[in-house]
Chains A and B, each alone.
Chain A
Amino acid sequence: MGEMDLDLTGRLMADMDPQLLDFLRTKVNSFVKWDLVRFFHDNPHTADTVENIARYAGRSVSAIESGLVELAEDGVLNATQVGGMTIYSLASDHEVQQMLGEFVKASDERQFRVKAIYHIIRGMR
Chain B
Amino acid sequence: MERVKTGIPGLDEMLKGGFLPETANLVEGAPGTGKSTLGMQFVYHGIVAYDEPGIILTFEEFPQQYYHDAASFGWDFRQLEREGKLRVVMTSPEVSKADLEQVGGRIEGLVQEIGARRILVDSLSHFERMTADPAKLRSTIFSFINALKREGLTAVLTRESAALLGESESADEEMAFLVDAYVLLRYVEMESAVRKALLVLKMRGSDHDKGIRQFEITSRGLEVRSPFEGREGIMSGSPRQMVDSFVQAFVRR
**Contacting residues of chain B (91-129) with chain A, CB-CB under 8 angstroms:** 91-92, 94-95, 97-99, 101-102, 105-106, 110
Asked if A45 and B95 make an inter-chain contact with CB atoms under 8 angstroms apart, the answer reads no
* Residues on A with beta carbons closer than 8 Å to the beta carbon of B94: 49, 83, 85
Per-position contact with A for B112-154: 1 when CB-CB < 8 Å, else 0? Answer: 0000000000000000000000000000000000000000000
Asked if A83 and B102 make an inter-chain contact with CB atoms under 8 angstroms apart, the answer reads yes
* Residues on B with beta carbons closer than 8 Å to the beta carbon of A84: 98
- Taken together as a complex, chains A and B put the C-alpha atoms of A84 and B98 apart, in Å, by 9
* Residues on A with beta carbons closer than 8 Å to the beta carbon of B110: 45
- Taken together as a complex, chains A and B put the C-alpha atoms of A87 and B95 apart, in Å, by 8
Category for how many chain B residues contact A: 20 to 34
**Residue among B63, B64, B92, B98 with the highest chain A CB neighbour number at 10 A:** B92
**Residue among A45, A48, A89 with the highest chain B CB neighbour number at 10 A:** A45
Asked if A85 and B95 make an inter-chain contact with CB atoms under 8 angstroms apart, the answer reads yes
Partner of B102, one of A42, A44, A82, A89: A82
* Cβ distance B105 to chain A, nearest Cβ, rounded Å: 7
B228 at the interface (CB under 8 A from A): no
* Cβ distance B140 to chain A, nearest Cβ, rounded Å: 12
Per-position contact with B for A79-113: 1 when CB-CB < 8 Å, else 0? Answer: 01011110101000000000000000000000000
- Taken together as a complex, chains A and B put the C-alpha atoms of A56 and B59 apart, in Å, by 10
* Residues on A with beta carbons closer than 8 Å to the beta carbon of B91: 46-48, 52
Asked if B101 and A43 make an inter-chain contact with CB atoms under 8 angstroms apart, the answer reads no
Instruction: Label chain A's interface by main secondary structure.
Output: mixed
- Taken together as a complex, chains A and B put the C-alpha atoms of A89 and B63 apart, in Å, by 14
Asked if A45 and B98 make an inter-chain contact with CB atoms under 8 angstroms apart, the answer reads no
Per-position contact with A for B54-98: 1 when CB-CB < 8 Å, else 0? Answer: 000000001110000000000000000100000111111011011
- Taken together as a complex, chains A and B put the C-alpha atoms of A48 and B99 apart, in Å, by 10
* Cβ distance B18 to chain A, nearest Cβ, rounded Å: 27
Instruction: Give me the 10 closest cross-chain CB pairs, A-B, nearest first.
Output: A83-B98, A46-B90, A45-B89, A43-B63, A52-B92, A82-B98, A47-B91, A45-B87, A48-B91, A43-B90
B residues adjacent to A (C-beta < 8 A) = 62-64, 81, 87-92, 94-95, 97-99, 101-102, 105-106, 110
Contacts A45-B90, A46-B91, A47-B106 given; 10 further ones with Cβ under 8 A?
A42-B62, A43-B64, A45-B89, A47-B89, A52-B91, A80-B106, A82-B102, A82-B106, A84-B98, A87-B95
